Amino acid sequence: MCFEVILEPTFNLCQRSWYAPSGWRKIRNIVQWTPFFQTYKKQRYPWVQLAGHQGNFKAGPEQGTVLKKLCPKEEDCFQVLMKDVLRPYVPEYKGQVTSEDGELYLQLQDLLSDFYQPCVMDCKIGVRTYLEEELSKAKEKPKLRKDMYEKMIQIDPNAPSDEEHRAKGVTKPRYMVWRETISSTATLGFRIEGIKKSDGTSSKDFKTTKSREQIKKAFYEFIEGFPHALTLLMRNAGRIGTTSAISTTSMTSGIDLSTSPRYLQRLRVIRATLECSDFFRSHEVIGSSLLFVHDRKHASAWLIDFAKTVQLPENHQINHFTTWKVGNREDGYLIGINNLIDIFDEMDAEIMAASTVSDSPVSTANTSSGSSSASMSPKRPACEAHEEAGDQETVKSGISDVLNIAPPEPSEGRAISYSDEDTGCGDHKILKERKEQN
């Protein structure tokens, strides 16, 4: 199921009567997002909708689909995306569906349907989450908002000025700009919206998660126990059963792509695709997210949420990387993607460095001639002796070393195995086609 978090001011291009007015409006549709969820059984898996926002999402009429309340601007984006090179990296759009009460919905691919007990993370991409038109509209007749003042002091009591404290109110433009500065949106070009772990635990309090180290800590906790989601390097090529052994760049040379860094590879492919996408070249991408999903075997990421993405005026060009100033319409999307890749790259290096220490050769100094078993079967270095599950536990230990926590105990009978159904970036469309062929 698509997991989406919409965090925005009360103004919304697609705002309808079914939205409850809220400065920090959150709409979530996620498996086991406790405690604020209701679960419904439909076909072979559950779908969930946040209580209090009934009607935003529904289970799709077909297995592997989900219905999202129609937003015309988002539908326009999906129609273009289905013909763009970005199509493999967004939920598949299957057209409109009319509900029994006559309400229109978008029928979208359920991105979680091929995962088992997935971990999910939503990262809002870009240096701002509001359109320039929203800011201009808010400046037309600015008035003090007590509700926004209260939200501001809940996060930072010192944020309002003395004058704002006396008035007990802030203007909407002031609040909109301030809100982006308290998270990593302004500094890194992305922010974490929410994380849900496979055990059902969730965290959504990332409003003030701003520094690189805070972000990295959250990412480590996201992949804890699932090292393959970020990195699982082959020490002996071809040892894990798979028919895929393709090296496309020097970075993946000698590494089986089915077990190479999943999120890193996916992000690099997404970045390369964005740079040659007609859609990306011609649109201001605001409020869109990257959805990261992994389970015991697979990991992937998709672009989601295009309700505030708009086509650029004719003859107006942006590069998605230049610093935003009012009027240039730059969204900073590539700033966020590049920083995500850099941080995951740092984590990859740290994990592998820690696992290398854990993988140091076993001493054979105590092997004597009196020990026939030892002399007949000399111990090999740990990096050669590990089987598949051992490789997993070694990298898990690396993550634990970086996090400075005790590594998790290995689960009996839960060693991760890979087959020729696995793909390097978790493309579930390919997986589905292969399963159907079998």
310 contact partners, CB below 8 Å, separation of at least 6: 13, 73, 131, 283, 284, 286
pLDDT of residue 142: 87
Q: What is the rounded CA–CA span in Å between residue 195 and residue 430?
A: 26
Strands 144-145 and 202-203: unpaired
The secondary element (H helix, E strand) that includes residue 419 is none
Higher pLDDT, residue 47 or 195: 195
Predicted confidence at residue 415, as pLDDT, reads: 30
Position with higher pLDDT, 24 vs 409: 409
Q: Which of 40-44, 153-157, 199-203 has the lowest mean pLDDT?
A: 40-44
Paired tokens of 390: 């051992």
For residues 231-244, one letter each, b for 16 or more C-beta atoms within 10 angstroms of the residue's C-beta and e for the rest, the string is: bbbbeeeeebebee
Inform me whether the pLDDT recorded for 179 exceeds 80.
Answer: yes
Instruction: Give 123-178 as a DSSP string.
Output: EEESS-SS-HHHHHHHHHS--EEHHHHHHHHHH-TTSS-HHHHHHT-EEHHHHHHH
- Has residue 132 got a pLDDT over 50? yes
- Please report the pLDDT score of residue 230 as a whole number: 77
* pLDDT at residue 360 in the model: 57
Contacts of 120 (CB under 8 A, 6+ apart): 3, 30, 31, 112, 194, 195, 196, 291, 292, 293
What is the rounded average pLDDT of the residues 113-137? 91
Q: Give the pLDDT band (50/70/90) at residue 401.
A: low
Question: Phi and psi at residue 271, in whole multiples of 5°?
Answer: -60, -45
**Residue 9 is which amino acid?**
P
Q: Is 113 or 51 the better-scoring residue by pLDDT?
A: 113
CATH of 37-361+380-437, one of 3.90.550.10, 3.30.450.70, 3.30.200.190, 3.30.470.160: 3.30.470.160
Residues constituting the chain? 438
| Most confident option among 331-340, 356-365, 402-411 | 331-340
CB 331 within 8 A of CB 284: yes
pLDDT value at 122 more than 80: yes
| pLDDT for res 153 | 94
Pairing of strands 119-125, 144-145: unpaired
430: pLDDT confidence band, cut at 50, 70 and 90? Answer: very low
| The predicted structure's pLDDT at residue 135 | 86
Give me the phi and psi of 401, to 5 degrees please: -60, -45
pLDDT band for position 39 (cuts 50, 70, 90): very low
- Which residues are CB-contacts of 361 (< 8 A; sequence separation ≥ 6)? 381, 382, 383
The confidence score (pLDDT) of residue 402 equals 52
Q: Is the torsion defined by CA of 313, 317, 320, 326 positive or negative?
A: negative
**Which residue do the tokens 């919409």 mark?**
6
Question: Looking at the predicted structure, is the pLDDT value of residue 50 above 80?
Answer: no
Q: What is the pTM of this model?
A: 0.68
Q: Which residue has the higher pLDDT, 351 or 73?
A: 73
Q: With 50 as the cut, is the pLDDT of residue 358 above it?
A: yes
Q: Where are the domains of the chain?
A: 37-361+380-437
Residue 55 — very low, low, confident or very high, per pLDDT cuts 50/70/90?
Answer: low
Tokens 């404290």, located at residue? 165
Sign of the dihedral defined by the CA atoms of residues 22, 25, 31, 34, in that order:
negative
Is residue 32 over pLDDT 80?
Answer: no
* Cα–Cα distance for residue pair 427/299, rounded to 1 Å: 9
65 burial class (0-12, 13-18, 19+ CB within 10 angstroms)?
buried
- Of 139 and 44, the structure prediction assigns the larger pLDDT to 139
Is residue 174 predicted with pLDDT exceeding 50? yes
